[in-house]
Amino acid sequence: MNSENNHNHHHDHGHDHKHDDAHSHLPSDPELRVKAIETLLLGKGLIDSKTLDELIDTYENKIGPQNGAKVVAKAWVDESYKKRLLEDATAAIRELSYQGRQGENMVVVENTPDIHNVVVCTLCSCYPWPVLGIPPTWYKSDEYRSRTVREPRKVLSEFGVNVDPKVKVKVWDSTAELRYLVLPMRPKGTEHLNENELAELVTRNSMIGTGLPENAK
Amino acid sequence: MSRLHDMGGRFGDGPIPIPRKKNNEIDNHEPTFKYDWHAKAWAITLAAGALGEWNLDISRHYRECLPPKDYMNYSYYEKWLAALTNLLVDKNLVSLEELKSVIDLVEKKGLNFEANKSEKLDKRTWLAKDVQKTLGWGGPSIREINVSPIYKINEKVVAVKYSPNEDVNGGHTRLPSYVMGREGIIYSYNGSHVFPDKNAHAKGENPLPLYTVEFKASELWGVSAEDNNDSIYLDLWEPYLRSKKT
């Protein structure tokens, strides 16, 4: 067997840790760790601090669940928009100018009197950024990731959502690059509200499935 | 066997850490980033990724490959930072010596010193003026290729029994262990998408048909299922599935 064949038959081992893994040298205080990496990359011109500021400002102030709330409210008042949203969510969401990173392939799942949807990412923290922003800490927690697929009703009850036994629970584990948004049911007694007023009732958790929209005040 | 990140269905985790207001109502409005260092760790990871030296699947796999003790001890953004540090060194963007000397510096000086910025940015560096454009494009994983999916909607399938990554021991995959060997039904077909099992190891995009597969709670959890009528849906690539022989 020549060495090339030998190499081809060798099974890769990815990049599992060695004793001298770079990350093992980092300071114990996480703030100092960030400072070290930032200092290193700024010193080499590999990052621009203005870019970091722009990114943080974008997701703290411009992209967040207020976007998803507008999508939901529009679906509540406009039957043809709702139809487009359920058929091709990416295109319908783009109509409102929400698109791009971590929302390239959107799927909207509709709650009905018979179905309650809830979204999780058991492997990591996949989440539809253009409509919901950066995921909350609990969404990234081991507790939510491990339990939601096995005991969704119990998890939902911790969020104060008690699903009737007659209602089917559908759990969506975002294992690929599709990103899920729940279309919650429009609360009763909101017939008099316009689209903007309705959007105010749409909570972030109601679009993940771990909450319900607020009732009209 | 799998890795620690593959935790779907695991026993032992306690209540969901849901933030609450003083009146015990659920707080839907906690800050986007709890600490400044979370925001920085997140933004630096995105900016370093934009240098183009690795793809998103590679960076995910680096987080999954952290030693189990570290994976469990680190908080979310600590995992990001550790994986980024390993990537920067492995991909030769910084040397281990450079890393160690900067660590010495910050440990001596603490947080409150102004870092020396390079006068000249690297030509790969992501500029602030391009941020909105790049975010708006994103990085779609769907590929327009002429591949016919093998499985039909409503067809019964079985997920493979073992980690399907045949190239790399312990390699990246999106088939969680809690559905391995279990029977499901094809719910929808989503076109061909970049295959992470290859892409995470720089073995090309290799786009393949992606399905959404419905698994009955009773099929996954047996008698401990909360409700036999409930279902769990996963997005799975064709090589993760086999025909259900009837």
ipTM summary value: 0.96
- Which residues partner with A173 through β-bridges? A120, B234
Assign A20 a pLDDT band (cuts: 50, 70, 90).
low
How, if at all, do strands B241-243 and B156-159 pair?
antiparallel
Assign A6 a pLDDT band (cuts: 50, 70, 90).
very low
Q: Which residues of A are catalytic?
A: 121, 124-126
Helix (H, G, I), strand (E, B) or coil at A106: strand
How, if at all, do strands A115-120 and A168-173 pair?
parallel
Query: Residues of A with CB below 8 A from B100's CB?
Result: 25
- Cβ distance B235 to A147 less than 8 Å, yes or no, reads no
pTM (predicted TM-score): 0.95
pLDDT of residue A5: 39
| Mean pLDDT estimate for chain B | 95
Residues A180 and A71: beta-carbon distance below 8 Å: no
Q: What are B142-170's pLDDT values in tens digits?
A: 999 888 999 999 999 999 999 899 899 99
- Cβ distance B47 to A44 less than 8 Å, yes or no, reads no
Assign A216 a pLDDT band (cuts: 50, 70, 90).
confident
DSSP string, A3-68: HHHHHHHSPB-TT---TT-GGGGS-SSHHHHHHHHHHHHHHTTSS-HHHHHHHHHIIIIISSHHHH
Structure tokens at A80: 């043809």
Arithmetic mean of pLDDT, A134-152? 97
pLDDT of residue A7: 40
- Cβ distance A32 to B105 less than 8 Å, yes or no, reads no
Q: What are A85-119's pLDDT values in tens digits?
A: 999 999 999 999 999 999 999 999 999 999 999 99
Q: What are A112-135's pLDDT values in tens digits?
A: 999 999 999 999 999 999 999 999
Query: Residues of A with CB below 8 A from B190's CB?
Result: 105, 176, 178
In this predicted structure, the answer to whether residue A10 has a pLDDT above a threshold of 70 is no
Residues B9 and A9: beta-carbon distance below 8 Å: no
pLDDT of residue A217: 76
